[in-house]
Every structure is written in C-alpha cells, then in structure tokens.
Amino acid sequence: MADEQELAEIQQRHWQDTYTAHPGMYGERPSVPAAWAADVFRAAGARDVLELGAGHGRDALHFAREGFTVRATDFSTVGLEQLRASARAQDVDGRVGTAVHDVRDPLPLADASVDGVFAHMLLCMALSTEEIHAAVREVRRVLRPGGVFVYTVRHTGDAHYGAGTAHGDDIYEHGGFAVHFFDRALVDDLAAGWALDDVHAFEEGDLPRRLWRVTQSVPR
Ligand SMILES: C[S@@+](CC[C@H](N)C(=O)[O-])C[C@H]1O[C@@H](n2cnc3c(N)ncnc32)[C@H](O)[C@@H]1O
C-alpha cells in the first residue's frame, strides 16, 4: 500500500492523465452546489471568490459569469489550462485567475483577503484527516469576517464507501481515484469556531455519488 506522500503523487498523475484523456470531463454546465454557492455568496455581499480543486472550471466560470472575481486553484496544470482556454472563449478571462496549488500546502493569499471559498469534491480527495483540518484552517485564515465557505464531500453513505483498496483513515481507492469518505463527526469537527449554516445531502452523476453540501461562515 502506498504511503501518504506516494498516494498524493499517484493521485496527481492520475488527475493529469484523466483531464488529458477527457478534456472538459465534467461538462460546461455549473454543478448544482455552485449555483447554490453563487446565491449564498451574493447574499453575503461577496465579490472575491476562491475555488479550490477547480479542475477544468465548470464552476469557476459560472462564478465569473455571475460577476464575481475568481481565483481558481487545482494541482492539475492540465485542468487549469482547459479552464483558462474556456475563460478566454467565454470572454470572462479578465475576472478569472488560476494558480497551481496543492491543498495540502498553505494558501498563497493574505489573511482576510477573500469573501467566499468554494470546493466541490476536493476535501474528499486523498487527504488525511489532519490534512483536511489544516486545509480548512487555511480557508478560515484567508476569509474575511462574514465570509462563507461552501464545500461538498462524498460521505459514508456513498456506494463506494468501503469498496476497492483501503488506504486507512476512511480513504478508499476505486477505479484509480482515492476518496476520503466523510462521516458527520468530521463535518461537525471542521465547523468548530465557525457558524455551521447548512448541511444538505444530495446526489450527483450516475453512480450516483452521495454527497453533503456544507455551508459555514466566519462569525463577524
Ligand atoms: C472530483 S474532481 C472535482 C473538480 C471540480 N471541483 C468539479 O467539480 O468540476 C477533484 C479535483 O480536485 C483536484 N485535486 C485532488 N487532490 C488535490 C490536491 N491535493 N490539491 C489540489 N487539487 C486537488 C483534482 O485535480 C480535481 O480537479
């Protein structure tokens, strides 16, 4: 079994290869949670949005079309190249910046510098519980008071939970993709010190993937 660092490197190569083989694999339409997040961000008066694990940008481009300024990050250069090409084609490249960033590293942003953070199916990647906590601490650091974090994760009610290769810490690898399946206690732990505004169960795709959409905000 691969150790934590080996697993991370294997996963990064796997995502690079997947986006190369299947450009724009999630389609052009925004995800359902991104539409929710845009409404929540707007209601909170947000202008600057950070997206983590943006992939080829179906959601980052939605935020830009909705008038937000977006910083889109991912550890896949291939996904981000596709995102930039789509931004140019849609004439929103003036509102979208990209940065290659591994969510296990500190965010290259100042404290209290963004209004909203979005991460669809990123925190449930091949990250240890400690790495997830560290990533959420970074999100908290860069959000302004009143800022909102909307994230989604596959949870332990998903059909693939417990299937495939077990890597420990509720991480299972299936079809080459390693997923950390969240239980409710982890969601609650990550919201300590935040206002936990909403936890909503939903499904996506044909499997279907079973996910939670979590909305939490920084108290003013
Ligand atoms: C399930 S995909 C979702 C992509 C995008 N959020 C969407 O829904 O269209 C997960 C994304 O997270 C990225 N990713 C996985 N592990 C990462 C890490 N440690 N740091 C940054 N990005 C990562 C992958 O490259 C991929 O683009």
The pLDDT of residue 122 is 98
Report the alpha-carbon distance of residue 213 to residue 93 in Å, rounded. 28
Centroid of ligand 1 to alpha carbon of 5 (angstroms):
17
- Structural domains of the chain, with CATH: 4-217 (3.40.50.150)
- pLDDT tens-digit map of 157-196: 999 999 999 999 999 999 899 999 999 999 999 999 999 9
Q: pLDDT digit string (tens) for 14-30?
A: 999 999 999 999 999 99
The whole-chain average pLDDT of the chain stands at: 96
Is the Cβ atom of 125 under 6 angstroms away from ligand 1? Answer: yes
The DSSP secondary structure of 176-217, one letter per residue, reads TEEEEPBPHHHHHHHTTTSEEEEEEEEEETTTTEEEEEEEEE
Sign of the torsion angle spanned by Cα atoms 25, 151, 205, 39: negative
Return d(Cα 102, Cα 28) in angstroms, integer: 24
Q: What is the number of the ligand 1 atom nearest to the C-alpha of 16?
A: 25
pLDDT at 1: 56
pLDDT digits (tens, 9 = 90+) for 83-128: 999 999 999 999 999 999 999 999 999 999 999 999 999 999 999 9
Cα–Cα distance, 202 to 32 (Å, whole number):
9
Asked whether 26 lines ligand 1 (CB < 6 A), one says yes
For 132, 167, 219, the CA distances from 213, given in Å and listed in that order, are: 16, 24, 19
pTM of the predicted model, to two decimals? Answer: 0.97
Any atom of ligand 1 within 6 Å of the Cβ of 31 = yes
